Structure formats: C-alpha cells, structure tokens
Chains A and B, each alone.
Chain A
Amino acid sequence: QVQMAQSGSEVKEPGSSVKVSCKATGGTFSSYAFSWVRQAPGQGLEWVGGIIPMVGKPNYGRKFQDRVTITADESTTTVYMDLRSLRAEDTAVYYCARAGKLWFGELLGKWFDPWGQGTLVTVSS
C-alpha cells in the first residue's frame, strides 16, 4: 500500500522559488505515475504536472510549463516539484498523488489515489 509524506509548509517571497518533496513508501516506486495538484485558498483543484520515475520525462499543465520542474529520485523514492518565479497567486496547498501504474508500456489506473497530506506554500513579501 503506497503512502506519501510531503515536506512542511513554506513561506516564500515573490520572485523566489520553492521545492516541495513527496516521499513514497510501499509498492514499486519506479513504475508509478505521480502528479502534483494544487488548491488555492477557497478554490478548486488544479493539475500542475506529473512524472513516471521509470520513464523520467515529466508532463506539465500548460499554465505551469514555463515555471515548474518535476523530478523523481529513485534511490530515495521521492518526487519533487520546483516552482520558480513565485507570485502571490501561487499561494496554495500543493498535493502529491499517485496517478496510475505503468504496466507493459501502458499507464493503468488513471486516477489520483492516494494523496499526500498537502504542503502549504505561502507567497508573501
């Protein structure tokens, strides 16, 4: 049973960067797909991007592709999200979630489960 534990809350100044981590335990890390989803205060869910560690090439939401980098470290079974050029509108809870499993070249289970506990990123001067 996969479980995800995220890093703690961050407070950042506008224009800076933040790197959030998500350590997965249980299951076969390399073949899982992991996604990052964010939720601004009082707002809905928004897909930021994702990665399959075995493949290594991330996919990003169009809104974020110029500012985000998602990586995975197979040695520590940890997924990272690095968001640059932060602005106030990036203030949100960032969740990591498993988003399927690669099986003989096909991604199975295209839904988000389980989720990490969320990491609050506050962008403020």
Chain B
Amino acid sequence: QSALTQPASVSGSPGQSITISCTGTSSDVGGYNHVSWYQQQPGKVPKVIIYDVSSRPSGLSSRFSGSKSGDTASLTISGLQAEDEADYYCSSYTSSNTWVFGGGTKLTVL
C-alpha cells in the first residue's frame, strides 16, 4: 500500500485560509468515506481533528473542515492562528482492511 500524497509544506498568514490535499486511489480515499486528519504539534502525540471525511470531534473548532472529491481529500483551516502551526497527516481505511497515512504537511503561519 503506497502512502497517500500530501504537499510537504503549506503556509499562510494569520486570518487567511489554507487547504491541504491528500491524494490516494480508488482502493483507499476514493473507495471509502473513512478519511481522517491528524494534527501533531512538535514533540506531541497526534490528535484527530477530522474523521469520516468531514466530521469534527466534539469541542474542536469549526475553523477546521474536511471534504473529498474522487480520490482526493482536503483539509481546510480558516481564520489561521499561530497555534495552528503544526504537522498535519491524512489517513484512510483501505480495501485490504488496513490503514494508510499521507506523508505529512508542515503548516507554517507567517
């Protein structure tokens, strides 16, 4: 199972919106609505911020949203804040009953 494809880095200024893409295949992202996104601050444990493509855990800011079109899922963060600076990973369930992660995207808030 090949890793999902994410951009290595994205950046934005406070208040702006950014979108991180996550491209897979029909055997993972395109075939299931089981895409999730994780935020990892330096030295911390990853934290789920989006599950099942577009659902947010209870208490998570509505600034985070997810979507999917075909084999590509996307994470959008609106109203960027300095605290959003972190690494972001997508993950998808697959047709082999396994999971696959993206390579990760480093978000820099300028």
Are B89 and A45 in contact, with the CB atoms below 8 A? yes
Q: Which residues of A contact B100 (CB under 8 A)?
A: 47
Chain B contact residues, CB within 8 Å of chain A? 1, 3, 32, 34, 36, 38, 40, 45-48, 51-52, 57, 87, 89, 91, 93, 96-104
Chain A contact residues, CB within 8 Å of chain B? 35, 37, 44-47, 49-50, 59-62, 95, 99, 109-113, 115-118
Of the candidates B1, B48, B52, B98, the one whose C-beta lies within 8 Å of that of A112 is: B48
Q: Which residues of A contact B91 (CB under 8 A)?
A: 45, 47, 111-112
- Compute how far the CA of A116 lies from the CA of B45 in the bound complex, rounded to whole angstroms: 8
Are B104 and A112 in contact, with the CB atoms below 8 A? no
Are B89 and A44 in contact, with the CB atoms below 8 A? yes
Determine how close the nearest CB of chain A comes to the CB of B74; give it in whole angstroms: 17
Are B36 and A111 in contact, with the CB atoms below 8 A? yes
- Compute how far the CA of A62 lies from the CA of B87 in the bound complex, rounded to whole angstroms: 25
